[in-house]
Structure 1
């Protein structure tokens, strides 16, 4: 893990794999850095940069001091600082909340391209009724951290249900880490519920927006809305792939990404 600070004092912590053009991979709301391990082998010619997002494990900021209204801005500043710290104009590759962060960061810093898998944006009709953050916060306050994070898994990762969820979670290698992130996931969800997609996103770089047919309907809808709000974008839908697309189907997703970057 490389740790450094920008000229304004912002702390940065990240892993780098390879020496090519920087490909900054931003994981989603509940996944640790290890989420990108299945993807990395498909980008050997790039310098894959995997940051330690603020609030997720070892970090140079105190996440408890950050309110929900500041969560997204904090992450955007972090990504912009990281983009300025690496050599050359990077490519931003974000999943879910990381995809939203990548798009927002690209409005204020020079990047070569943005790759966004199901950005965590809620359509207006869905957002007005969204209360996941409140339900999770209540469970956390009651000492039910595992149940709180299960609500996120059920609503976002597996909205169509999964047989014997408790057994599935027990066998999921990152589950203990996810439980540890309960408070950060609450803050992140509250930030998502408050975010409003503008009519137009001021991103000059080309953007590949991706979604999967097995993901939540509201994220598939929001992927189309994000695509329409961007001046230079392509929308791709993967048949039979869920919200966990890059980790679930790394070969298919990486093939589409590499094709986009070539053209």
Structure 2
């Protein structure tokens, strides 16, 4: 049994478990009620869902893992595949001991889709803008360039590469972004990003395959999120067999951090209380 370290009530307890291949997966757990697993996106970690989780903990038992590659979880094997992430969720759900609601943000929403299609005991899915267009061989040179840039310590150009080639941020927004050198106090998330790029490069952009997902699904988006995300989400909504769609006016891809209370309210509205 892993030892637990009690943090503040709002952060929950932190602990770790051993996944299928021996990788240590750290997680935080707080709240009570039906179990909900919150899966963070690329460049995230234990903190990513915290603003939303604070509005959910009175109704749900929340489990927030740091995905493999993101400290304090272990790095995992390379090259990583989405099947590895599903294996990690399988280990966590086994620990929980009950079917779960699975909530994913960005890349974490893609992980949730893979888990939903894999036969894991998932009661429902809540997805925030899975970047399903960012997949396949076209990402192989991006993966390799990112590795070269981070090996040289050039985080500014590495971050710009991700914004341009993976997130596909429009040029006008790129000009507004702060592309200065990251502060020394910022954690280095490049190992996690590198693993995520490995998974995306080996994946498919075919949205039709998600027709095999039968769990009730809430698909959330920002009204102002740039293309190709909106078109991708439209195709995903058409593929899913049991989907509810929600759009947040005036928001972009970052709404879970910008308007966490509103995002939490939609999750509460969708998920059953028991």
Q: If the TM-score is normalised by the length of the shorter chain, which range does it land in?
A: 0.7 to 0.9
Q: Equivalent residue for 2:252?
A: 242
Residue 231 of structure 1 deviates from its aligned partner by 1.2
What is the root-mean-square deviation in Å for CA atoms of aligned residues?
Answer: 2.8
| Secondary structure at the counterpart of residue 192 of structure 1 | helix
Instruction: Figure out how many residues of one structure are paired with residues of the other and give that number.
Output: 252
| Secondary structure at the counterpart of residue 20 of structure 1 | coil
What is the aligned counterpart of 1:24 among 8, 31, 37?
Answer: 37
User: Is the Cα contact below 8 Å between 2:17 and 2:24 reproduced in 1?
Assistant: yes
What is the aligned counterpart of 1:117 among 123, 128, 131?
Answer: 128
CA distance in 2 between partners of 1:198 and 1:252 (Å): 27
Q: Equivalent residue for 1:259?
A: 269
CA distance in 1 between partners of 2:90 and 2:209 (Å): 20
- Closer, same or farther in 2 for the Cα pair 1:80/1:150, shift >3 Å? same
| Secondary structure at the counterpart of residue 102 of structure 1 | helix
CA distance in 2 between partners of 1:164 and 1:138 (Å): 22
Higher helix share: 1
What is the aligned counterpart of 2:47 among 16, 21, 34?
Answer: 34
Q: Which runs of 5+ in 2 are unaligned?
A: 1-13
Q: Equivalent residue for 2:11?
A: none
Residue 206 of structure 1 deviates from its aligned partner by 0.3
CA distance in 1 between partners of 2:111 and 2:226 (Å): 19
Residue 209 of structure 1 deviates from its aligned partner by 1.0
CA distance in 2 between partners of 1:199 and 1:93 (Å): 21
| Secondary structure at the counterpart of residue 254 of structure 1 | helix
Q: Equivalent residue for 2:10?
A: none
After superposition, what is the alpha-carbon deviation per residue over 1:152-190, rounded to whole angstroms, capped at 9, x for unaligned? Answer: 2456285423536146965xxx9812xx12132133124
CA distance in 1 between partners of 2:22 and 2:153 (Å): 35
Q: TM-score, with normalisation over the residues of structure 2?
A: 0.80
